[in-house]
Amino acid sequence: MARFCTVLCIAFLSFSLFVSGVFSASFTFTNNCGYTVWPGLLSGAGTSPLETTGFALNQGESRTIMAPQSWSGRFWGRTLCTTDPTTGKFTCGTGDCGSGTMECSGSGATPPATLAEFTLDGSGGMDFYDVSLVDGYNLPLLVVPQGGSGTCSATGCLVDLNSACPSSLKVILDSSTEGSESVACKSACEAFDTPEYCCSGEYGNPNTCKPSSYSQFFKNACPRAYSYAYDDATSTFTCTDASYTITFCPSTTSEKSSGGGYPEAATVPLVNNTMVFSGADQVSSASHALPRVSQHGSLLTILAFSVLSLLRLL
């Protein structure tokens, strides 16, 4: 009898935790690319891990991942992944995390990779998020907050920069069937490894590390994405109590260019309409409203109640 109660109480407690706000936000990944994308998920040091650290997302497919309160970390899309038929080792043409399996298990993306970075429930209870090309670019990615309060701007890099990439930054993959293909675009730091481009050494602060012609290439194409380490003013966004959609290969959208975490961000368009990219036609964003899991349930009350019930029943 006691064992039965224990099981029941633990089940009840788990359910209570689930509905009461241990989960803070959801991330819904959608693959609009014409190929499979394998999202990689890396939790920041000291935050709870998510239910998965890597999975396959077929063309047109979506998957929602719950994140606990105060979670921080990053997401990216791996492309051209294969499993070696003899060794069973899983590797990706871009964004590989080096784990040898579909799960990244605590390893990050090998540059170049477009990154979506999040810190939930940070200063002032706000979520901070950005899309970064500081480690280069491998595929277009859009982050759209859903149902939050605050400025809550969409951010991302909506254009395919692989063909437009300067030749000194291009990552070319040879494929015997289709010839060589431009699959990613390195950052200047990755390509040339100098303190100026990497914002290291005496260039390790915002006064000395300035945009370069290379970072400007990324910034012109994707005005809201981080193009180098100190690009904060136009690249960091905030929203409170939101959930987020992360879309790989979004259609180029005409999102409203309202504000963000920093005053300057508000004036920056998501898409640079003065640039012409093939296939970058303007269509409206396919963002669906997602409910954010309630954070207002009193976790402590439920915990106390569950523990008391458990003690009484035993």
Ligand X SMILES: *[C@@H]1O[C@H](CO)[C@@H](O)[C@H](O)[C@H]1NC(C)=O
Residue 73 or 140 having the CB closest to ligand X: 140
Q: Which helix (H) or strand (E) holds 146?
A: strand 141-146
Sign for the CA dihedral angle at 62, 66, 70, 74 comes to negative
CA atoms of 182 and 282, how far apart (whole Å): 24
**C-beta of 273: minimal distance to ligand X in Å?**
8
**C-beta of 275: minimal distance to ligand X in Å?**
5
Tell which residue, 9, 3, 8, 6, has the closest CA to residue 306.
Answer: 9
Residue 223 or 259 having the CB closest to ligand X: 223
- Rule CB under 6 A: which residues touch ligand X? 219-220, 223, 269, 272, 274-275
Residue 192 or 277 having the CB closest to ligand X: 277
Copy the structure tokens of residue 78: 């791996």
DSSP three-state, residue 117: strand
Matching residue, tokens 């990497």:
198
CA atoms of 87 and 34, how far apart (whole Å): 28
Residue 106 or 269 having the CB closest to ligand X: 269
Residue 275 or 314 having the CB closest to ligand X: 275
> Which residues in 205-242 belong to E strands, given as ranges?
237-239
Residue 32 or 257 having the CB closest to ligand X: 257
**C-beta of 208: minimal distance to ligand X in Å?**
23
**C-beta of 230: minimal distance to ligand X in Å?**
17
DSSP three-state, residue 265: helix
**C-beta of 49: minimal distance to ligand X in Å?**
37
Strands 127-132 and 115-119: antiparallel
CA atoms of 25 and 240, how far apart (whole Å): 10
**C-beta of 267: minimal distance to ligand X in Å?**
9
